[in-house]
């Protein structure tokens, strides 16, 4: 079935970024605007759901208008009417109050401007971040490592995506955020740890790599976080100055996460026979992980792809990309069928 939808206005508000984008044919980004709430949540050391929802309400219309202006120039209202074929929005999973802001804004725009409205699963959005400026061949595996998820997803076609491994407890990004708190670093923890780890050694402290010898493709990061906490407490009790040890502690923690992520991903490729590995999600912005997975896949004669940094952390362009491919599978996208999903489904 050929789709008549080419230009999509997409909206993402599942966590702490208010984002909108204009994406053409699923791979060409005309504009991608992200308003981050990091400065608002930083003093709490994590995202406060009520404050996040409120900030989305304050930002959403300005962010959408900026995305339309950037893509088309002046007169966003007219451009939305004339040049946008459909609207897409993240409908799950995420913080319910935050999702509701994006979904209700999108429903209203779709109703007023009489456009199809395409609901998109956020995790699948991360999978499709690898379609921006690039076309992966099926089948492929995606390691989605973010603040809320650590999933290994096997994609056989635009209509077939299966989670074949997932975290049993904390997500990789969540582990970075908690480790940063233990080390006295700022929120979000991933970028903070990545920065100081550059000056440390990944083998300075022996930290656990859970699940590596188990007969499945799952991850676990809560034991690693506890091991880091105990190590730091022991070092403090023996009179050590923690501040001077932070680069080595951060690098050792980061290396343990990277080793776990790579081990499962390569094992998944071996088991499924899939040769294309994609990396996605906020943790994919980690330069050491990008480098290490690139090296490992090269050594194992596998193909590797990772999006530009701006499309790893939450953004709306990936939602527009996923939505476009959804239109190749399905035709009927009415605003009144779109709501925040109570039970997220990994499908288009």
Which residue lies nearer to ligand KG4 by CB, 15 or 106?
A: 15
On the 0-12 / 13-18 / 19+ scale of CB atoms within 10 A, 186 is middle
- Nearer Cβ to ligand KG4, position 17 or 87? 17
Minimum CB–partner distance for residue 148 and ligand KG4 (Å): 4
For residues 286 to 315, the per-residue mask of contacts with ligand KG4, x marking binding by CB under 6 A and - elsewhere, is x--------------------------xx-
* Binding of residue 179 to ligand KG4 (CB under 6 A): no
Interaction between residue 12 and Zn ion (CB under 5 A): no
The nearer residue to ligand KG4, 5 or 284, going by C-beta atoms, is: 284
Binding mask 144-163 for Zn ion (x = CB under 5 A): --x-----------------
Return the half-sphere exposure (C-beta side, CA atoms, 13 A cut-off) of residue 197: 26
**8 Å CB contact between 307 and 314:** no
Q: Which stretch binds ligand KG4 (CB under 6 A): 110-118, 169-177, 226-234, 326-334?
A: 169-177
Q: Which of 93, 116, 194, 202 binds ligand KG4 (CB under 6 A)?
A: 194
Interaction mask 300-339, Zn ion, x per CB under 5 A: --------------x-------------------------
Kindly tell me which of 26 and 147 has the beta carbon lying closer to ligand KG4.
147
Binding residue for ligand KG4, selected from 200, 281, 307, 320, defined by CB under 6 A: 281
Q: Which stretch binds ligand KG4 (CB under 6 A): 98-106, 200-208, 222-230, 279-287?
A: 279-287
Q: Is 191 in the site for ligand KG4 (CB under 6 A)?
A: yes
Preceding peptide of 139 cis, ω within 30°: yes
Q: Give the interface with ligand KG4 as residue ranges (CB under 6 A).
A: 15, 146-148, 173-174, 176-177, 188-191, 194, 281-283, 285-286, 313-314
């Amino acid at each position: 079935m050929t789709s008549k939808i080419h230009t999509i206005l997409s909206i993402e508000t599942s966590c702490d970024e208010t984002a909108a984008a204009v994406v053409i044919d699923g791979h060409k980004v005309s504009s991608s605007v992200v308003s981050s709430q990091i400065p608002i949540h930083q003093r709490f050391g994590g995202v406060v759901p009520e404050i996040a929802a409120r900030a989305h309400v304050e930002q959403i219309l300005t962010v959408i208008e900026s995305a339309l202006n950037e893509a088309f120039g002046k007169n966003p209202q007219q451009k939305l009417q004339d040049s946008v074929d459909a609207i897409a929005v993240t409908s799950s999973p995420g913080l319910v109050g935050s999702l509701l802001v994006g979904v209700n804004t999108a429903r209203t725009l779709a109703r007023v401007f009489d456009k199809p409205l395409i609901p998109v699963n956020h995790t699948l959005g991360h999978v499709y971040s690898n379609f921006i400026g690039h076309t992966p061949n099926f089948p492929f595996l995606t390691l989605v490592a973010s603040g809320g998820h650590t999933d290994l997803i096997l994609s056989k076609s635009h209509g077939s995506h299966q989670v074949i491994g997932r975290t049993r407890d904390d997500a990789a990004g969540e582990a970075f955020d908690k480790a940063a708190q233990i080390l006295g670093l700022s929120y979000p923890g991933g970028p903070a740890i990545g920065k100081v780890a550059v000056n440390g050694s990944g083998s300075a402290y022996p930290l656990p790599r859970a699940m590596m010898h188990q007969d499945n493709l799952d991850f676990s990061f809560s034991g690693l976080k506890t091991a880091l906490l105990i190590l730091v407490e022991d070092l403090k009790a023996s009179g050590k100055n923690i501040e001077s040890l932070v680069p080595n502690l951060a690098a050792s923690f980061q290396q343990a996460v990277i080793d776990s992520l790579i081990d499962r991903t390569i094992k998944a490729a071996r088991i499924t026979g899939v040769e294309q590995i994609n990396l996605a999600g906020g943790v994919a912005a980690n330069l050491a992980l990008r480098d290490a997975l690139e090296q490992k896949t090269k050594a194992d004669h596998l193909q590797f792809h990772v999006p530009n940094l701006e499309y790893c952390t939450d953004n709306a362009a990936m939602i527009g990309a996923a939505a476009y491919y959804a239109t190749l599978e399905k035709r009927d996208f009415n605003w009144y069928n779109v709501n925040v999903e109570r039970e997220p489904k990994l499908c288009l």
